[in-house]
Structure 1
Amino acid sequence: MAAPVALIQGASRGLGLQFCKHILKHRTTAVVIATCRNPEHAAELRDLSDRHPGNRLTVLRLDVNREEDVRGVADRVRESFGRLDLVVNSSAVLHPSGKGETSLRDVTAQGVISTLTTNTVGPLVVAKYLAPLLQKGGGGFGQQPAEKSKRHSGVIVNITAKVGSIGDNGLGGWYSYRMSKAALNMATRNLSIELGRSRPKVVCVSLHPGTVDTDLSRPYHRNVPKDKLFAAELSVSRLMSIVDSLNMERTGRAFNWDGTELPW
């Protein structure tokens, strides 16, 4: 069986970087393609690449706000690998200002548009160009049932957030970020329907990593209980356990880091 190929979008830091580390460490035959906006400034990712010579880790430039970048990466992957087994969309912004809106008076059209562009439109465009490569995958991630009709060729993971759950929203605020993640969940659902009809099929899920010790959440750590603040390594380990359990019966859903289903 050919080595599984995973592409991690937003791999320069935080969860994305940890996904790369986890797969390289625990999937010793897997190949990782790490993408980020500025590879030359991604010191940790460059260091990881130096420690994995050969073709186990490939770093490519990708700004999800530029469709031509996404198209170019898809062409590179097609030429070099011919397929994908896993795509993780992990890059996100809280807000261009770095602070979520606490009330309606803080909302600006440009802030909402910018957040939606990165958090929602970007992953959807990534899916558009990479889905054909996932349909050529070998199903190297997730569970494969005995029945051929229920098997999948690849997996799309969109990193969502609990604050994007409409059913769970009891506090309000953070308009741009909440809206972008709610819209991302809808994109995941739509993708699961279309790519669930395709042959071969692709599993599509949204995963909530919990509150993780990353640059995005760091300004709000003082309000998070210590037992609810996760290191990126722990969060990704739990998320990959969910990925390993995926099949076509679980596509189109959102899951918390602990495997429980997150309400839309």
Structure 2
Amino acid sequence: MAGGVVLVQGASRGLRLHFCKHILATRQEAKVIATCRKPAAASALQALCELYPGNLTLLRLDATREAEIQEAAEVVAEEPGHLDLLINSGAMLHPSARGETCLQEVSAEGLSITLATNTLGPLVMAKYFAPLLRKGTGAFGHQFADQAKQHRAVLVNLTAKVGSIGDKALGGWYSYRMSKAALNMATKNLSIELGRGKTKVVCDSLHPGTGNTDLSKPYLRNVPKNKLFTPDYSINCLMNIIETLDMEKSGNHGSTLLG
């Protein structure tokens, strides 16, 4: 695999950590920038740094704080100066760590915090990192003979199937469902704006399926075995999708859901 510069937002654990592991293991020349709120306390990322000292960089970034996003973008602009892939993967179910099961459990505070983390954060990330994506080298994606399909870089927002309005029957989880539905709309908007001009960026929302992670662990009892994916399986599927994205597929998140 070619190298490329990748930034994984919210990379301290779960699938986002596995993104870092997968890219470092499969793309020997890749440079990975992993962000999280407290890098010094992220033991798994610190251990990964020891394994890949020249390929992995840690940056402090709280996606709910615009000033920190801007500061991180300025650091990346200095070195390496561009991005080939941005993965917005930080997310939360709810500040209480459990989704609302009924309207009486909804609070303005819970809605605000969840939306700030899952929706506003990725959109503000796009605001500050889009100029660096437009300078990408095309390391993620093929060089197409058809100019209309070519792109410089890829922006991926991790979404969730429970954010689908059409595929909805159970109810509940107001904050999380709303945040992911709004994220899908933001991604569609981004695909239009960043698809203009000569330096195009593919934007897509990808659903990793249900995995055995901290976020979904309390809700796995009723998940069919064939719909419960290991982190490695989900990441392999997602990276296969990312590698084959082109401008014609940009914004078509509905066709790339897993499970």
Query: Are 2:229 and 1:257 equivalent residues in the alignment?
Result: no
Match of 2:22 in 1: 22
What residue in structure 1 maps to residue 127 of structure 2? 128
Partner of 1:13: 13
Distance in 2 (CA, whole Å) between partners of 1:115 and 1:144 is 38
Post-superposition offset of 1:142: 2.1
Partners of 1:69 and 1:18 lie apart in 2 by: 24
> Which segments of structure 1 move beyond 6 Å, counting only runs of 4 or more?
none
Structure 1 residue 3, shift from structure 2 partner: 3.8
Q: Distance in 1 between matches of 2:132 and 2:94?
A: 31
Matches within 5 A, 1:178-193: 178-193=177-192
Normalising by structure 1, we get a TM-score of 0.95
C-alpha distance after superposition, 1:169-212 (max 9, x if no partner): 11111000000000000000000000011320000000000001
CA distance in 1: counterparts of 2:227 and 2:147, whole angstroms:
40
Cα deviation per residue 1:73-97 (whole Å; 9 max; x = unaligned)?
A: 1011010101000000001000000
CA distance in 1, matches of 2:21, 2:258: 18
**Cα-to-partner distance string for 1:102-154 (whole Å, 9 max, x where unaligned):** 11111001100110000000000000000000000011112331133431001
- 1:223: Cα distance to partner? 1.4
Give the RMSD, CA atoms, in angstroms: 1.1
Equivalent runs, 1:224-243 vs 2, <5 Å: 224-243=223-242
Unpaired segments ≥5 residues, structure 2: none
For 1:147 and 1:208, the matched residues in 2 are separated by 28
Aligned-partner Cα distance in 1 for 2:133–2:165: 30
For residue 39 of structure 1, report the CA deviation from its aligned partner. Answer: 0.7
1:33-48 pair list within 5 angstroms:
33-48=33-48
For structure 1, the residue ranges without an aligned partner over 5 or more in a row are 259-264
Please give the alpha-carbon distance, in whole angstroms, between the structure 2 residues aligned to 1:149 and 1:160.
26
- TM, length-normalised to structure 2: 0.96
Judge conservation of contact 2:148–2:247 (CA < 8 Å) in 1.
Answer: no
Counterpart-to-counterpart distance in 2, 1:72 and 1:171: 41
Correspondence for 1:101? 100
Helix, strand or coil for the counterpart of 1:249? coil
Q: Is the 8 A contact 1:18 1:232 kept in 2?
A: yes
Partners of 2:252 and 2:79 lie apart in 1 by: 32
In the other structure, the counterpart of 2:169 is 170
Q: 1:178 is aligned with what amino acid?
A: R
Q: How many residues align?
A: 256
Counterpart secondary structure, 2:90:
coil
Q: Is the 8 A contact 2:204 2:251 kept in 1?
A: yes
Matched with 1:215 is 214
